[in-house]
Structure 1
Amino acid sequence: MVKLAEGVRVIDADAHLTERHDLFTERAPKGYEDKVPHVVRIDGVDMWVLEGKTFGKAGSGGTIDPEGKKHPFRTSQGGSWGIDDVHPAAWDTRERVRLLDDLGIDAQVLYPNSIGIGGQNLYNSVKDKTAVRLCLQLYNEAMAEVQEESGNRLLPMPIMPAWDIEACVREAKRCAEMGFRGVNMTADPQDSGSPDLGDPAWDPFWEACAGLNLPVHFHIGASQTALSYFGTTYWPSQDDYVKPAIGGASLFQNNSRLLLNSAYSGMFDRHPNLKMVSVESGIGWVPFMLEAMDYELEENAPEWFDKLQKLPSEYFRDNWYATFWFETGRGDLQHLIDAVGEDNVMFETDFPHPTCLHPDPVEKVTEKIATLRPESQRKVMGGNAAKLYKL
């Protein structure tokens, strides 16, 4: 029987927590219960409502049923499933911890579902930003409770008020005080009226995150702009079950634009200790992009190339992490890990989403992970995450 190297500690760097229907209302100030996100059944479907308007389905957020069977996206999360149709560990944090024990996973980093993976469904759908700020703070406070009650085994990433840079700085500092180990940022704050992330106006936020040791996380699909890839990359003639496969595969490569833009922007020269994480993007595209980003900038903007303090590709080594789960490296995973950098890779399961490793994620990857050098195994399966998240 194939086994992992001695001393491997498994930390899952990407999973999702479906929002409970009472997440906001149970924490709302008295009299504000109807002014925060709450669930209303409309035409037989549970919907999230805020300011009298719906901003999304209060669905399952997953494809695993209560018995542990995985279903196609189109007939589960992307179909008629509600929160009662999904595995309870998708939304119940006590059940999640029990599941981690069963799976041999020590800790898990969590991202939202219904409110938008980067929080965009929440703050892009409401004009009253004072009300949205309250909702955002309530969400982050709820996630701080999740982290504390789990004994730091569940590590939710708090969302930032992307429409207001100064508010992002204040919320990052507040989140650090609450014990969070990073922040969850939308890839495209310009969707909410802010400058894009390369604008020096964001420097106070980068300075705060670097100084507080809060890595900034960019999950695929964490903005309206990024998520549009999911619904536009497939040909209309494709089968309805094939379309999510094309959309999902397209999303993986979407984060390459974040790597390119951040490296070229000069932000890491100004904030050399700033750390960023490309979440659920895989790593197979990274080696090619590292070559391409050096070549293209020197060819097209030689003066800017000379102006940077490092080769563009070196900013990935020094400032970025990426997560992976099902990739095999086409039979040579060690070569792929070495090309990306064994200090820059973290393992994930993506529970309970369509591409999650289920039902036994560690067992599912053991054979290919066992081909890695013992030190590589220890780093990518949990060591890098333990260091980044101070576990």
Structure 2
Amino acid sequence: EVWIYEDRVYPYIGLNAVAGKKPEEYGAEPTRYEDMIAGCFDPKARVLDMDIDGVQAGLSFPSFPRFAGTVFLEGKDRELALLSVKAWNDYHIDEWCASAPDRLIPLVILPLWSVEECVKEVYRTAAKGAKAISFPENPVPLGLPSFHTDHWDPLFSACEDVDIPLTVHFGTSGKAPITAPEAPMAVMTALFGCNSMYATADLLFSPVFHRHPTLKFLLSE
């Protein structure tokens, strides 16, 4: 069970669905839906699991498109990529979060290759009830302009206008904090929080908050 997008294959990584499993069963190998508990893919079952864990509300990031939708950024067909971004956002708002609107927080992704389309999607999804936007912790490794340019200003202004925060989940830059090719995955896992430290310093020393004083960023995970 894999996703095929254009000419690329994306397996569902088992490490993204370890709820209910023993630590020794964790791994990055592909997994099947039948090997997961229902709360990993059924929003109603997820709310029941949240009750057990004492969690009032949860915000779910995309899996196959990656946490900030960068799979679609890699797409050759920009029209298909834009439709894919919109389809994920519509599903997340209209189906996933609508099943428990007081418990599941609507998060959307953006067509990062076009600031103009990003702005349009901010206004479109905010009108539908989006409460947060997933954005790369550092755009540069993805081949996009940095926070130190004025490239993203129209997007940041739109976010201020509708009062919606940008949330930067660690790893969304596509640059993992691994120390050596031979290092075990535990090293990378333990160091991922450092990516959030890099993002914080990068943003604080950039002109972003001087130009957009009411803009909000969230550090996720």
**Residue of structure 2 in register with 1:47 after alignment:** 2
Deviation at 1:132, TM superposition (A): 0.5
Instruction: Please state if 1:278 is matched with 2:212.
Output: no
Map Cα deviations across residues 267-298 of structure 1 (whole Å, 9 max, x no partner).
11111111101111xxxxxxxxxxxxxxxxxx
Deviation at 1:54, TM superposition (A): 2.4
**Residue of structure 1 in register with 2:11 after alignment:** 57
**Residue of structure 2 in register with 1:69 after alignment:** 21
Deviation at 1:47, TM superposition (A): 2.0
Structure 1 pair 80–201 and aligned structure 2 pair: CA distance change class (3 A): closer
Paired with 1:109 and 1:155, the residues of 2 have a C-alpha distance of 5
Paired with 1:235 and 1:128, the residues of 2 have a C-alpha distance of 33
- Specify the SS of the correspondent of 2:108: coil
TM-score by length of 1: 0.53
Q: State, as a whole percentage, how many aligned pairs show the same letter.
A: 25
Paired with 1:164 and 1:152, the residues of 2 have a C-alpha distance of 32
Structure 1 pair 55–192 and aligned structure 2 pair: CA distance change class (3 A): farther
- Specify the SS of the correspondent of 2:120: helix
Instruction: Please state if 1:253 is matched with 2:194.
Output: yes
Instruction: Please state if 1:127 is matched with 2:79.
Output: no
**Residue of structure 2 in register with 1:104 after alignment:** 54
Paired with 1:91 and 1:77, the residues of 2 have a C-alpha distance of 18
Instruction: Please state if 1:189 is matched with 2:139.
Output: yes
Larger radius of gyration: 1
Structure 1 pair 131–80 and aligned structure 2 pair: CA distance change class (3 A): closer
AA aligned to 2:112 is A
**RMSD of equivalent CA atoms:** 1.8
After superposition, residues 228-247 of structure 1 pair within 5 angstroms as 228-229=176-177, 232-234=178-180, 236=182, 238=183, 243-247=184-188
TM-score by length of 2: 0.91
AA aligned to 2:159 is C
Gaps of 5+ in 1: 1-45, 281-391
**Residue of structure 2 in register with 1:312 after alignment:** none
Structure 1 pair 255–59 and aligned structure 2 pair: CA distance change class (3 A): closer
After superposition, residues 116-155 of structure 1 pair within 5 angstroms as 116-124=66-74, 126-145=75-94, 146-155=96-105
Given that residues 255 and 278 in structure 1 are in contact (C-alpha distance below 8 angstroms), is that contact kept between their aligned partners in structure 2? Answer: yes
Given that residues 59 and 82 in structure 1 are in contact (C-alpha distance below 8 angstroms), is that contact kept between their aligned partners in structure 2? Answer: no
Asked which structure has the greater RCO (Cα within 8 Å, sep 6+), the reply is 1
Moved over 4 A (4+): none
**Residue of structure 2 in register with 1:90 after alignment:** 40
AA aligned to 2:216 is K
Structure 1 pair 156–246 and aligned structure 2 pair: CA distance change class (3 A): farther
- Specify the SS of the correspondent of 1:255: helix
AA aligned to 2:87 is L
Deviation at 1:191, TM superposition (A): 4.5
Map Cα deviations across residues 211-240 of structure 1 (whole Å, 9 max, x no partner).
21111000001122x3x32xx32461x4xx
Paired with 2:13 and 2:29, the residues of 1 have a C-alpha distance of 9
Gaps of 5+ in 2: none
Given that residues 116 and 122 in structure 1 are in contact (C-alpha distance below 8 angstroms), is that contact kept between their aligned partners in structure 2? Answer: no
AA aligned to 1:85 is D
Deviation at 1:80, TM superposition (A): 4.4
